[in-house]
A = this chain, B = another copy of it.
Amino acid sequence: MRKDRIYTPDFGGVPKASLSAHKGRTVLIAGGAGFIGSNLSRRLIARGDRVICLDNLETGRSENIASLLAHPRFSFILHDVVNPFKLNGTINQIYNLACPASPPKYQKDPIHTFKTCIFGGLNLLELAREKNARILQSSTSEVYGDPDCLLQSEEYRGRVNTVGPRSCYDEGKRAAETLFYETNRQQGVDVRIARIFNTYGPRMDPGDGRVVSNFVVQALSGVPITIYGEGQQTRSFCYIDDLLDGLMALMEADVNLSTVNDPVNIGNPGEFTMRELAQLVLEMTASKSSLTYCDLPADDPRQRRPDISRAGQLLDWAPKVSLIEGLVPTIAYFRGELTKMQGARLEDRYAI
């Protein structure tokens, strides 16, 4: 890997240059303290927007937005999007990123996860209607369930179990798409639906139980890397900056395009088996962790690979960051998080 190919994004605070006067756009990010939401907050503030971050901090983390709290164009509202709320003033755009997204987190309280998708969607759609704001729904590749095709296009109807351990999320997200689609048709609200495939990068929760965070944290900690099944299931991994480019392009896309309200896959079609990912992480962290094999959980998808031709045609978007390139800042981020956590544990131990 040549050094000049290494992608080194700034995942610190907001660039100084962006602290200029507010250019007038106000964006609400529901779930703004989460992995995607907190990265998006920085991008939007950097380009001059005002950001209102709404989060119940259930899976979103205050650390993710700590450095933003003092920013004059950032405000934080602690609120669970499941419950109705009112906001004063103008809102131009709404990103709905509010939902636990990793199986261990969304399975903790499945009915609440389901309500987050449905009630949260309804509350935000109502706000969009009232404010005449454009709204983007973060849907997911999980609407395809355990697919029986190699490449998932937006036309694919999916293979989701309605009554299984993943259904609170998968069906919640499917039903939310229906709700956004119908609110566009019935009430004319301008909705955008992004089907987000696996994404990784700085500000992921080290403990969220997703494969990239699991593998990197395990490798850096020197404990065995957990592979479910034989590790032959595949996933596609999109670096956070590529995802944000895609989401923002979809939000900005011309309203006159007829397909702009249809779901759009946003993901990286590079496909890796879990064993390949584990090997890559081991090499890049120079870790001596072994691999340990566990039973495959019920309804675990065997393959995932987005067909992104619609995003290409509609948004002229494609991911740019390879897995190796994206893992460099991701590993650096997790290394920092682990150091902080060890420090915190030491502080706890020696606290008077």
Tell me the A residues contacting B by CB distance below 8 Å.
109-111, 114, 118, 143, 145-146, 157-164, 167-168, 171-172, 174-175, 177-179, 181-183, 185-187, 193, 262-263
Contact = CB atoms under 8 A, between A and B. Distances in A.
B182 A175 contact: no
B168 A171 contact: no
A122 to B, nearest CB: 8
B111 A186 contact: yes
Contact of A143 (B162, B164, B178): B162
Contact of A167 (B145, B158, B181, B187): B181
Contacts of A109: 186
Contacts of A160: 157-158, 174
**Closest 7 pairs between A and B when the two form their complex, measured CB to CB:** A175-B175, A163-B181, A171-B178, A162-B177, A157-B159, A167-B178, A110-B182
Contacts of A111: 179, 182-183, 186-187
A168 B183 CA distance: 11
Which residue, A109, A111, A160, A183, has most C-beta atoms of chain B within 10 A?
Answer: A111
Decide if the interface of chain A is mainly helix, strand, loop or mixed: helix
A313 B145 CA distance: 28
Nearest to A169: B178
A179 B161 CA distance: 13
Each complex incorporates copies of this chain amounting to 2
Nearest to A182: B110
Nearest to A173: B162
Contacts of A157: 145-146, 158-161
Nearest to A299: B157
Contacts of A172: 175, 178
A163 B192 CA distance: 12
Contacts of A178: 114, 162-163, 167-168, 171-172
Chain B CB within 10 Å — which of A160, A171, A186, A187 has the most? Answer: A171
A177 B118 CA distance: 14
B263 A182 contact: no
Residue among A163, A167, A168 with max Cβ neighbours from chain B (10 Å): A163
B175 A118 contact: yes
B163 A262 contact: yes
Contact of A175 (B146, B158, B174): B174
Interface centre among A111, A143, A161, A182 (most CB of B within 10 A): A182
15 contacts: A110-B182, A114-B175, A114-B179, A118-B118, A145-B157, A157-B158, A162-B174, A162-B175, A163-B177, A163-B178, A167-B182, A171-B175, A171-B177, A172-B178, A174-B175
A262 B193 CA distance: 31
Given A175-B171, A178-B168, A110 B162 contact: no
A110 B168 contact: no
B182 A114 contact: yes
Contacts of A181: 162-164, 167
Given A157-B159, A157-B160, A185-B110, A174 B171 contact: yes
